[in-house]
Structures are given as C-alpha cells and as structure tokens.
C-alpha cells in the first residue's frame, strides 16, 4: 500500500507522492472515485434501477434468441443465447449483491456490506469464463463439421433487436457507473458492451452464411466472440480482486486528499494516508501533523474541519483522522514498489 510522506509547513505542502512511492507501470490500475459523487440515497436508487433493467433486458433476449436458434440452428446464435442466459444469472447475482451492498452497517458488519459488489463481480467473471469455454468447444465441433444456417432472415432480425436493446442498457449502465462508481454494475456493463460486438459479429456471420454461402463464417466468428468474452472475464475478475484485496485509490484521488488537507493553515503535515474502496464507499485514514502546543480541543476542531472538507469531495466516505504533534519521531509506513 502506498502512503503519503511527511511534509513541511503548510505553504510548502505538496500532496504528490515521492518517485519511489508511485505505482509501478506494471501494477494493477488503482481504483478511482468520481468527483462530486451523489448522495447515498440517490446512488442507491440509480444502482437498483440499473440492476432491474439489466435482468429485464437479459431475460427478454433469452426468449427471442431461443426462438431464433430453434429455427436457424446457428452456432453463432447459440453462442449469443448462452451468453444471454448467463447474463440473466449474472444480472440476478448483481441485483442481490447491490441490494445487500446498499444495506447500512450493522452490529456484525460495522464497515458496511460494500464488498458484496466485488464478490458479485468475481462471480460474473467465473460465469463469463464458463460460457466462453463452452462456446469454444461448440465452435470447434462446427468448424470440423460445417452446417448450413436455416431461417437466416429471422435470425438476423432477432440479432438486430438484440443490438438495440443491449445498446440502450449499456448507455443506462454507463450513466449509473459514471454517477455512482459501482463496481458490480461496471462489471455488468463490460460484458454487455462485449455483447454489442458479439451480436454485430453474429449478424455478419449470418449474412455471410446465408447470402454468400460461407458456412464456416458462423463458427469462426463464434471463436472470435469467445476470445473477447474471455478477455472481458479477465478484466472483470482483476477489478474485483483489487477491491477485495483493498487496493489503494488512484494517485489522483490521493493527491486530491492531500490538497484538501493542505488548504488548512493550521495543518503542518500529513503522513500514513491509507485508502481503499468497498463497493461504492471509499475509506480514508490519515495522520495530521499539528502544532505541538495546540490544545486537544483545538486539534479536534481542526480535524473535524478537515473531515468535513473531505466529505464534501467524497460524500459517502468513511474518514478516520489521527492527530500527531508536529515533529514527533513516529514510525511512518513507507512502501516502495
């Protein structure tokens, strides 16, 4: 975990990390908080609406794709049907996870339930990986024994409807992720964005198979789709693990925290900054360096002011501040790459 180094007087305060403490280029991308996020109650409503919409769209797509596959016997349509069926499961998992994550802290979970989102995202990665592996086997079999596609026009129409519905859902999810920073809905949006490419590729394969007599296009495009699905699963799983392992917030967010603290003239320094995310909730811990002759009462007031300013920038954050006398010889956590 990277932390802020001690700094000097307020006028010379620099919130930037030292070169040794900056994240490695090969390290996982840190989590980032959207500026001026919404109040928790609005965030919850948006997240719930997005999960309901996801389940509805995925269920609708399963029904119409199942009919198209029965008539066409297209392995590409089958691949899309399997993907949509798993989308229903993944979206249901997301729905329950978001509902649980938004529940307030209780006696046994005093830090809240935000990690439920990360667990759901990890489960989605597993579902998506399984669908991709099945699709690879099915496509390989169809490459060895190519079969013509029947009722191509019907299948193309169904896939076009799928593109429209999926595009509308992705736009909604991207809006919600932008406003809330939800990891679970972000994971949901990643594989629905992949579905857009999947459905477009399947339309191309159906056109090539039915209009130009190239049956091998059907399984070849299905193989490409499977590869993209595997990549999406890796991306989702990596973000979920970062959250579960309490990965630090981005350098940009940590520097914003440092700048907020530096704005207080009574603050002489900052060290041991520790941050993490649990779902959409950021956790911020830091040590303030204050004048040694300051009374405990005044130190408490300054800390409350710093906390209030941090909560203005990060409304749903959990902030813990420890006060230290300036110049105290305290062991400071410094982690190098």
Q: Render pLDDT for 46-96 as a digit per residue (tens, 0 to 9).
A: 888 988 999 999 899 999 889 888 887 777 778 778 878 878 877 887 787
Alpha carbons 158 and 141: distance in angstroms, whole number: 24
Q: What CATH number is given to the structural domain containing 257?
A: 3.30.70.1350
Would 5 be classed as within a structural domain? no
169 in the same domain as 223? yes
Q: Decide if 331 is inside a domain.
A: no
How crowded is residue 70: how many other Cβ atoms within 10 Å of its Cβ? Answer: 11
Do residues 204 and 254 share a domain? no
Structure-block tokens of residue 158: 């169904």
Please indicate, yes or no, if residue 34 is contained in any of the structural domains.
no
Domain C-terminal end among 200, 218, 244: 244
For residue 2, the model assigns a pLDDT of 38
217 shares its domain with 270: no
pLDDT at 151: 59
CA proximity to 68, closest of 58, 79, 57: 79
Q: What is the mean pLDDT of the chain?
A: 76
CA–CA separation, 238 and 243 (whole Å): 9
pLDDT confidence of 192, banded at 50, 70, 90? confident
Q: Strand order of the sheet with strand 318-325?
A: 269-278, 281-290, 318-325
CA distance 136 to 10: 60
- Distance separating alpha carbons of residues 269 and 8, to the nearest angstrom: 6
Q: Are residues 228 and 136 in the same domain?
A: yes
- Does residue 204 share a domain with residue 70? yes
User: Which of 250, 248, 251 minimizes the C-alpha distance to 275?
Assistant: 248
Question: β-strand 269-278 against 281-290: which pairing, if any?
Answer: antiparallel
Q: Is residue 208 part of a domain?
A: yes
Residue 235 within a domain: yes
Task: Tell me the whole-structure pTM to 2 decimals.
Answer: 0.56
Total domains in the fold of the chain: 2
Q: How far is CA 330 from CA 126, 212, 231, 289, 333, in A?
A: 45, 75, 45, 11, 10
- The answer, yes or no, to whether residue 1 has pLDDT greater than 60, is no
| Residue with more model confidence, 307 or 154 | 307
Share of the chain above pLDDT 90, in %: 11
Span 263-268, mean pLDDT? Answer: 87
- The answer to whether residue 229 sits within a structural domain is yes
Same domain, yes or no: 318 and 185: no
Q: With bands split at pLDDT 50, 70 and 90, how would you rate the model's confidence at 301? A: very high
Residue 273: CB atoms within 10 Å: 23
- Which tokens sit at 98? 């978001």
Residue 260 — φ and ψ, nearest 5°? -65, -45
301-304, long-range: CB within 8 Å, 24+ apart, which pairs? 302/264, 302/266, 302/267
What CATH number is attached to the domain comprising 159? 1.20.1510.10
Q: 119 and 200, same structural domain?
A: yes
What are the C-alpha distances in Å from 140 to residues 9, 20, 218? 67, 49, 11
Query: Are 207 and 259 in a shared domain?
Result: no
Which two three-digit tokens encode residue 16?
């930037």
- Is 249 in a helix, a strand, or coil? strand
- Within the chain, residue ranges assigned H as helices are 40-72, 75-101, 115-144, 152-180, 183-211, 217-244, 251-262, 296-313
pLDDT tens, residue by residue, 94-149: 787 777 666 666 677 666 666 777 777 787 788 778 777 877 887 787 777 766 66
Kindly state the average pLDDT of the residues 42-49: 83
pLDDT for 240 beyond 70? yes
Instruction: Give the number of other CB atoms < 10 A from CB of residue 167.
Output: 15
Q: Residue 232: pLDDT band by 50, 70, 90 thresholds? A: confident
Domain boundary at 244, 272, 301, which? 244
- Assess whether 154 and 261 both reside in one domain: no
**How distant, in Å, are the alpha carbons of 82, 122, 215, 334 from that of 66?**
9, 27, 20, 56
Q: Between these two residues, 269 and 316, which has the higher pLDDT value?
A: 269
CA-to-CA dists, residue 166 to 60, 111, 160, 198, 323, angstroms: 11, 35, 10, 11, 51
Domain residues for the domain of 274 are 10-28+248-325
Within 8 A by CB and 6+ apart from 295, the residues are none
Please report which confidence band the pLDDT of residue 4 belongs to, taking 50, 70 and 90 as the band edges: very low
195 or 191: which carries more pLDDT confidence?
195
Q: What pLDDT score does 150 carry?
A: 62
């Amino acid at each position: 975990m990277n932390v802020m180094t001690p700094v000097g007087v307020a006028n010379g305060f620099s919130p930037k990390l030292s070169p040794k403490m900056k994240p490695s280029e090969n390290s996982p991308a840190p989590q980032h908080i959207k500026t001026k996020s919404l109040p928790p109650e609005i965030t919850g409503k948006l997240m719930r609406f997005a999960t309901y919409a996801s389940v509805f769209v995925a269920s609708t797509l399963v029904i119409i794709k199942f009919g198209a596959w029965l008539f066409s016997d297209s392995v590409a349509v089958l691949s899309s049907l399997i993907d949509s069926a798993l989308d229903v499961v993944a979206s249901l998992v997301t729905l329950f996870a978001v509902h649980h994550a938004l529940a307030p802290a209780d006696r046994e979970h005093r830090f809240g339930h935000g990690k439920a989102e990360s667990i759901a995202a990890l489960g989605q990665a597993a579902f998506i990986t399984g669908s991709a592996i099945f699709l690879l086997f099915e496509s390989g079999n169809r490459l060895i024994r190519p079969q013509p596609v029947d009722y191509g026009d019907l299948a193309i129409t169904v896939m076009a409807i799928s593109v429209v519905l999926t595009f509308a859902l992705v736009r909604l999810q991207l809006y919600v992720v932008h406003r809330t920073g939800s990891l679970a809905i972000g994971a949901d949006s990643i594989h629905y964005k992949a579905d857009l490419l999947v459905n477009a590729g399947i339309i191309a394969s159906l056109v090539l198979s039915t209009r130009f007599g190239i049956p091998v296009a059907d399984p070849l495009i299905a193989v490409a789709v499977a590869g993209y699905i595997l990549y999406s699963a890796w991306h989702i799983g990596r973000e979920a693990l970062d959250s579960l392992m309490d990965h630090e917030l981005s350098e940009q967010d940590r520097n914003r925290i440092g700048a907020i603290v530096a704005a207080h003239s009574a603050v002489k320094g900052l060290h041991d900054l520790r941050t993490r995310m649990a779902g959409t909730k950021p956790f911020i811990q830091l040590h303030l360096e204050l004048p040694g002759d300051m009374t405990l009462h005044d130190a408490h007031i300054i800390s409350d002011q710093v906390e209030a300013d941090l909560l203005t920038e990060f409304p749903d954050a959990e902030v813990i501040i420890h006060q230290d006398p300036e110049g105290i010889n305290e062991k400071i956590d410094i982690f190098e790459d």
